[in-house]
Amino acid sequence: METVVMTPEYLLEVARETINAVKYCFLITISESGKQANARVVEHHKPEKDWTIWICTSSKSRKIRDILHENHITITFQDDSEYAYVTMLGLASVEDDPKEKQRHWQDDLIAYFPQGLASDDYILIKFVPSRIEIMNFARKITPEPYGLRPAILVRSGENWAIAN
């Protein structure tokens, strides 16, 4: 049986490949009441080099209200082809910078925002993770005891380290 050396670099590489392999993720926020989690499926942009993830949405959406109330969120990506998931915990912010909106605009968004970039409703969620959990059976990322807990990375400044 092939042994996989679990380094932060390897785990980050697998996490990025898992995220890039799927079009949608679950975005989980804390409700305005603080008494429940709200989960929904959203389309995401691929993670940037620093792991920032952007999501386009409506400024009138419940997820925006939730984030403005509590900006600690969770995003989960599932790749059935590798029996894998990546869960990221971190901070979200609501961004309406015109340059960022232009950079993340996709033509298919016109169906949701008929006024295009000029729409007051078109807004971005910027997500910066501080913790990444990875489970990937195809790549043997299944720490002991087998498959009962994920590999976990935590951010310290610009660096990532494996959590104990």
The structural domains of the chain, ordered by start, are 8-162 (2.30.110.10)
pTM for this predicted structure:
0.92
Radius of gyration of the chain (CA): 17
Tokens matching residue 127: 């997500």
Top pLDDT among 76 and 144 is at: 76
Position of tokens 């050396």?
A: 5
> Which are the contacts of 162, defined by CB distance < 8 A and separation ≥ 6?
6, 7, 8, 11, 151, 152, 153
pLDDT in tens, 118-139: 899 999 999 999 999 999 989 9
Give the rounded percent of residues in the chain with a pLDDT score beyond 70. Answer: 94
